[in-house]
Amino acid sequence: MTDLSEEDVFYQTIYAEAQGECEEGQKWVAWVIMNRAQLDKDYWGGKSIKDVCLKGGQFECWNDKTRGTGIKIKYQKDYDAIVSRTRPIYLKVENQDPTGGADHYNNPKKESYPPWTKNCTEVKKIGNHQFYKSKSL
């Protein structure tokens, strides 16, 4: 995965994590990544977007370490749409964070409410994802 650019990892993470979600939900996943990088916590991978996305146990889509060449893009049109709508966030052209600093999300239908959610405030539910902000860092 080291051969992938930071930008590729950013878009591939959003694609794999939120492909079936609405535009707003995809953008919020992008903001969670950006917020984690900005907070620069070692347990989230530090300040690099690539390191944040690839940090073990953080984004489910990267937990399979056999993906040496990145996430398989099955639907190029969907991927291109995600890139188009989240590029302004990556490039910091769109710099008004609508999430209020959300730094977590999960799909409660798949995993209920894991223990880490107790240290978070629920921010908003969008599609299948519940977004959270850490109470203390």
The three-class DSSP label of residue 89 is helix
Q: Which long-range contacts (CB under 8 A, 24 or more apart) does 50-55 make?
A: 50/4, 50/5, 50/6, 50/9, 50/10, 53/9, 53/10, 53/13, 54/1, 54/9
pLDDT digits (tens, 9 = 90+) for 55-82: 988 998 988 764 567 898 999 999 999 9
pLDDT digits (tens, 9 = 90+) for 117-132: 999 999 999 999 999 9
User: Residue range 28-52: average pLDDT?
Assistant: 96
Tokens of 32: 């969670």
This prediction has a pTM of 0.94
